[in-house]
């Protein structure tokens, strides 16, 4: 053990000189060196500075078999990491050189290191068998006879495997050493003195084999020699050496050769049997078998040139005499190489993923290619498939670099399946391949892009706050953060509004959904144009824009609004407008429109014009005018779309002194909205109509004069005129009421139906409209609040109207005036109506 430690200490001097041809570093280390033994200062020999080995990740690259060495990350020294056994690594090959690849990064470089494992004497000689039995006939075996012995084998090489033999002392035997053509020493036992079986029947000798190591190791084999009688002729082979060549592809059962031995004896002593007694290497015992009777030798196992290229067999021919004699010959079987090994491709380093902006020439992987065959069968050529965008560059014998030949685009191809192919020079050629998956990493080189440059969005007004208007989507072909898009409203021009777009709409940063922040009003905003910006999360971030045109669709949310009479401008506070309306023959008092028409006026004469406007647009603002009260064939009509109130026929005295018209203004929306206007038309004589027009003109002039500080005289004159007209009207109505009362009083009772009738509640309204409740009561409102009942009249009993169309025409509508009264009810109604002019004066 001490001498082995000394052998380890005596490590061969480090051979770290660069080879001028190949640029290799060569070291040598004895086998069985302890773990941690420094083989060489690798970093220093590679020209690396102190500390640079660890920074550049100096390391070994494995090539299929364990190298048992490693690189120290701190010092950069090449150390023994595990047990080194030269016999396990290289067998009998000499020298035992391990080819290592050393890798450094930044920049990526590969160095080739050759490590020679030197032999130490750690294996003792070994005989094929611990005991050998020999039979030698007495007397007939003459002194000088030789008996070949099986030599020992030593797994070491060189001087450590040079064997010498010694034989234990004997007066009958000596040892003779012969050198074969291959340089091996073959021991032979030589008979020096005739044997006498009766004296010594069995001789026991010890054959010792010693190697040439320091210290020398030995192995022994016991020789048991039995002394036999009489059979004095041993079999003799016709050749001492048989040489045969077989290709390694030879099938099991192939005839190798046929050996032949003859015996000069006769009878049973001349019958010969054949056996294989020895094989070098020992693994060859199972390779062949010999027919004991014929001497035919057949192949019993497959041959492999790469494992063993030559076998040495010892064939023995033994006769059947007593004692049996034997002869020996040698069979040398040479194995011929065939192309039975495909090239092998190994990936020693792979740098993935590769960024898509990597420059041409970037090294992606390092590969090692080898073929176990020899000669042309072991010469290999390599290429990469597909040919683009990668290529191969030879860096050393059997070493290649996979480099980038073309620019990459991850959005076009995100991953490449690359195959490195190798082909040897045999016939037929064999191929090997190695697949690589090269992923391409993303860089932010694509800006988000919307599906369209301009989005047109339609939204109805009065939408709910938070309603989804549209969904925008921008595509970014990059991945991960580079392709993660966030959306925002970019403040641009606002069409039709004065507030920024962000006060109307908002966009979800992740989904791109466009939300309404508040209800939209078409009357305030018709078109809103803004930009939505999509920004990715790359570094630096890229963005894309899209224009959104939001059109607000009108809803019928505004009822028609009545305008003052043409020529008036109450909102401006002018008295001149009222004067113009009065001069036209009609005015507006307390929300009710008043107009005058002369009896006998022809059909088609325009009495007044209702003016209204709708804040909506389109069909929602298209207005139509309908006469709601009175229904049927009244003396007036309203233009469906013009709003002009004109006479439907010539006016007659039977039409009464006054006509109250309820006009409904509707739009065409869904649902339709409406407004009502009440027009009170007074029917007078032509002279009175002119006088009323003059009075109206004078009243207006008086108001203008009062506004201009011209005095109150004109206003007093207008009041007197109205007073005269009112007294005349009241007197006429009173007389008519008395006449009707008397007629009803003295009328036949049969004309009156018995039984109480429903009560009808009639009220004067501020706006002059009539409402018909479910209780058949009529309420006239003084203000916008609850109705105020100024007068209640109970109607008498009336017979039901006769059936037929006439009854339908005379049926009172919900908003129609009460046309038929009697008694005190008619008188009260007359008094109520007669007070209306005074309300105008007051």
* Dihedral Cα 316, 320, 321, 322, nearest 10 deg: 90
In angstroms, the CA 195 to CA 178 distance is 24
Question: For the chain, first and last CA: distance in Å?
Answer: 143
Phi-psi region of 443 (alpha: psi -120 to 50; beta: other; left: phi over 0): beta
Judged on CB neighbours under 10 Å (0-12, 13-18, 19+), 228 is buried
Judged on CB neighbours under 10 Å (0-12, 13-18, 19+), 629 is buried
Residue 690, pLDDT score: 64
Of 760, 753, 599, 781, nearest in space to 678 by CA: 781
Judged on CB neighbours under 10 Å (0-12, 13-18, 19+), 438 is buried
Residues 6+ apart with CB under 8 A from 389: 404, 405, 406, 407, 408, 416
In angstroms, the CA 818 to CA 757 distance is 15
Residue 123, pLDDT score: 86
Coil vs helix vs strand at 562:
strand
In angstroms, the CA 740 to CA 748 distance is 14
Residues 6+ apart with CB under 8 A from 30: 7, 8, 10, 11, 12, 84, 117, 118, 119, 120
In angstroms, the CA 348 to CA 368 distance is 7
Residue 75, pLDDT score: 81
- Flag residues of the chain having pLDDT under 70: 1-23, 62-67, 229, 492-498, 566-591, 687-721, 744-842
Residue 585, pLDDT score: 47
Give helix then strand counts, H and E, for the chain: 10, 52
**Residues paired with 422 in a beta bridge:** 382, 432
In angstroms, the CA 754 to CA 305 distance is 141
Residue 656, pLDDT score: 81
Are the CB atoms for 164 and 210 separated by under 8 Å? yes
In angstroms, the CA 255 to CA 198 distance is 46
Q: What is the pTM of this model?
A: 0.43
CA distances to 15, 17, 18, 83, 103 from 113, rounded to whole Å, are 11, 11, 10, 19, 11
CA distances to 102, 525, 580, 840 from 711, rounded to whole Å, are 122, 50, 21, 21
Residues 6+ apart with CB under 8 A from 121: 156, 160, 211, 213, 214, 215, 216, 217
**Helix, strand and coil in the chain, % to nearest 5:** 15, 35, 45
Of 256, 255, 261, nearest in space to 238 by CA: 261
In angstroms, the CA 167 to CA 173 distance is 9
Residue 496, pLDDT score: 44
Residues 6+ apart with CB under 8 A from 708: none
Enter the DSSP assignment of 292: T
């Amino acid at each position: 053990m001490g001498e082995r430690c000394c052998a380890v200490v005596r490590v061969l001097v480090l051979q770290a000189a660069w080879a001028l041809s190949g640029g290799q570093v060569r070291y040598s280390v004895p086998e069985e060196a302890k773990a941690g033994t420094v083989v060489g200062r690798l970093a220093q020999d590679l020209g690396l500075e102190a500390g640079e080995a660890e920074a550049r990740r100096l390391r070994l690259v494995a090539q299929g078999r364990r190298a048992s060495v490693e690189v120290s990350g701190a010092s950069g020294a090449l150390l023994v990491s595990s047990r080194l056994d030269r016999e396990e690594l290289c067998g009998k090959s000499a020298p035992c050189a391990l080819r290592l690849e050393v890798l450094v990064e930044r920049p990526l470089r590969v160095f080739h290191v050759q490590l020679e494992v030197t032999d130490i004497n750690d294996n003792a000689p070994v005989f094929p068998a611990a005991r050998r039995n020999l039979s030698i006939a007495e007397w007939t075996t003459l002194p000088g006879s030789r008996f070949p012995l099986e030599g020992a084998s030593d797994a070491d090489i060189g001087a450590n495997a040079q064997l010498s033999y010694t034989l234990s002392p004997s007066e009958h035997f000596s040892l003779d050493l012969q050198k074969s053509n291959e340089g091996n020493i073959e021991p032979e036992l030589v008979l020096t003195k005739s044997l006498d079986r009766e004296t010594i029947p069995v001789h026991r000798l010890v054959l010792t084999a010693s190697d040439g190591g320091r210290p020398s190791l030995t192995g022994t084999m016991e020789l048991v020699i039995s002394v036999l009688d009489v059979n004095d002729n041993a079999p003799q082979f016709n050749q001492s050496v048989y040489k045969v060549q077989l290709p390694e592809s030879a099938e099991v059962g192939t005839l190798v050769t046929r050996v032949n031995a003859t015996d000069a004896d006769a009878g049973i002593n001349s019958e010969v049997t054949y056996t294989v007694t020895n094989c070098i290497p020992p693994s060859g015992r199972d390779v062949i078998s010999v027919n004991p009777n014929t001497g035919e030798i057949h192949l019993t196992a497959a041959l492999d040139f790469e494992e063993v290229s030559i076998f040495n067999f010892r064939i023995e021919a033994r006769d059947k005499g007593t004692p049996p004699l034997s002869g020996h010959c040698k069979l040398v079987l040479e194995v011929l190489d065939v192309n039975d090994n495909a090239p092998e491709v190994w990936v020693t380093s792979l740098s993935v993923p590769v960024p898509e902006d990597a420059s041409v020439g970037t090294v992606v992987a390092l590969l090692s290619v080898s073929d176990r065959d020899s000669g042309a069968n072991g010469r290999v050529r390599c290429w990469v498939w597909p040919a683009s965008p990668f290529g191969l560059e030879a860096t050393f014998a059997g070493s290649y670099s996979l480099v980038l030949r073309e620019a990459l685009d991850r959005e076009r191809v995100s991953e490449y399946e690359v195959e490195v192919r190798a082909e040897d020079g045999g016939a037929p050629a064999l191929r090997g391949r190695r697949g690589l998956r090269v992923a391409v990493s993303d860089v932010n080189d694509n800006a988000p892009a919307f599906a369209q440059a301009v989005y047109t969005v339609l939204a109805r007004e009065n939408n709910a706050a938070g309603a989804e208007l549209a969904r925008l989507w921008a595509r970014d072909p990059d991945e991960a953060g580079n392709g993660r898009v966030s959306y925002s409203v970019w403040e641009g021009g606002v069409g039709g509004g004065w507030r920024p777009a962000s006060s109307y709409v908002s966009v979800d940063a992740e989904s791109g959904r466009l939300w309404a922040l508040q209800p939209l009003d078409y009357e305030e905003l018709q078109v809103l144009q803004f930009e939505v910006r999509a920004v990715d999360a790359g570094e630096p971030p890229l963005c894309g824009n899209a224009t959104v045109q939001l059109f607000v669709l009108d809803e019928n949310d505004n009822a028609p609004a009545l305008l003052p009479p043409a020529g008036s401008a109450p909102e401006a506070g002018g008295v001149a407008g009222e004067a113009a309306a009065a001069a036209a023959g009609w005015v507006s008092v307390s929300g009710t429109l008043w107009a005058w028409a002369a009896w006998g006026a022809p059909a088609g004469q325009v009495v007044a014009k209702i003016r209204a406007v709708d804040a909506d647009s389109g069909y929602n603002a298209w207005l139509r005018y309908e006469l709601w009260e009175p229904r049927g064939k009244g003396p007036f009509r309203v233009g469906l779309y013009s709003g002009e109130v004109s006479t439907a026929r010539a006016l007659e005295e039977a039409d009464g002194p006054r006509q109250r018209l309820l006009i409904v203004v509707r739009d065409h929306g869904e649902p339709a909205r409406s407004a009502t206007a009440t027009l009170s038309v007074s029917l007078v004589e032509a002279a009175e109509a002119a006088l009323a027009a003059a009075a109206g003109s004078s009243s207006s002039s008086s108001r203008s004069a009062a506004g201009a500080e011209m005095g109150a005289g004109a206003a007093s004159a207008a009041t007197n005129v109205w007073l005269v007209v009112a007294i005349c009207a009241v007197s006429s109505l009173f007389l008519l009421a008395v006449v009707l009362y008397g007629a009803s009083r003295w009328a036949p009772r049969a004309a009156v139906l018995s039984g109480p009738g429903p009560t009808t509640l009639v009220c004067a309204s501020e706006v002059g409209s009539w409402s018909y409740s479910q209780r058949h009561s009529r309420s006239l409102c003084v203000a916008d609040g609850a109705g105020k009942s100024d007068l209640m009249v109970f109607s008498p009993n009336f017979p039901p109207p006769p059936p037929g169309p006439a009854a339908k025409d005379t049926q009172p509508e919900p908003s129609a005036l009460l046309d038929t009264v009697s008694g005190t009810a008619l008188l009260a109604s007359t008094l109520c109506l007669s007070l209306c002019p005074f309300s105008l004066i007051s």
